[in-house]
Amino acid sequence: MTERFGARLRVAMDALGPLCVGIDPHPSLLASWGLSDDVKGLESFGRTVGEALAGRVAAIKPQSAFFERFGSRGIAVLESVIRQLRSSGSLVILDVKRGDIGSTAAAYADAYLDPASPLCADAITVSPYLGFGSLRPIIDKAQQNGLGAFVLALTSNPEGAAVQRARAADGRTVAQTIIDEISQVNAGVRPLGDVGVVIGATVGETGHELTDLNGPILAPGLGAQGGRPEDLRAVFGSAVANVLPSWSREVLSAGPEVAALRAAAERARESCASAIVVTA
């Protein structure tokens, strides 16, 4: 890579607007598109979303689980989707939420953040709940190859609060300690760090400090999960300019027509842009 992930994402967000669209082929979505719930339907779904949105939104986020459920043939489709999107110039954030220790973490890094791998994406989502230091092989591999990672911090699922908002001995929440660790990794990097954070758009005013993060904020939960673009400024405060809102079902349900998918993505982008724009 000639440019780091953070720099490429900043350019994409500035040029195409603040929007990430998921590729989440739920069985119900496949059915609503008139597709079979099998590898053939999966392949058609991924190909159509790629045709509709590649190069038109800042990032596209395939959810690995919906491909993995079909075994090796589903993974082959995921490889094809990633290849199609990246060859078009789209940034791909692969939603895999991996996290482990030692050589296993390094193996995950090789799988998703090594340009020689057919599953290599521009960034992946990772879980820090074996300790932030356990992610070091993944972060090192990402930085070595000009790629990125998004670390779960404050997720939109209600079960997450028991862990993420628990207090450490120094009084900080677990989520804040993660945010602070990422801030150190991103310190001094311009225009945007390569390690981002995942904070749900539905979590409300968090009371967490994001000023020094210097990295992108992936914000899922908009649309079907109840998050609204107008909530983004309240949730993220002064860091809102670095927020990458993520929409899935609200955009995907407009398919399978390419034009309808593009129109839905445009509506989502305009809604997010109007909520995020920072006035002087």
Active site residues: 97
* Three-state secondary structure call for residue 179: helix
For the record, the structure tokens of 88 come out as: 């078009």
- Residue 78 CB-density burial (10 A; 0-12 exposed, 13-18 middle, 19+ buried): buried
Neighbouring CB atoms inside 10 A of 55's CB total 12
**Dist CA 9 CA 5 (whole Å):** 6
Cα–Cα distance for residue pair 123/121, rounded to 1 Å: 5
The reply to whether omega before 25 is within 30° of 0 (cis) is no
What are the beta bridge partners of residue 21?
60, 247
Q: Which residues contact 155 (CB under 8 A, 6 or more apart)?
A: 164, 198, 199, 200, 203
Bridge partners of residue 123, in order along the sequence: 93, 148
Specify the DSSP class assigned to residue 208: -
Cα separation, 102 vs 107, whole angstroms: 9
Q: Quick check: bond before 191 cis, omega within 30?
A: yes
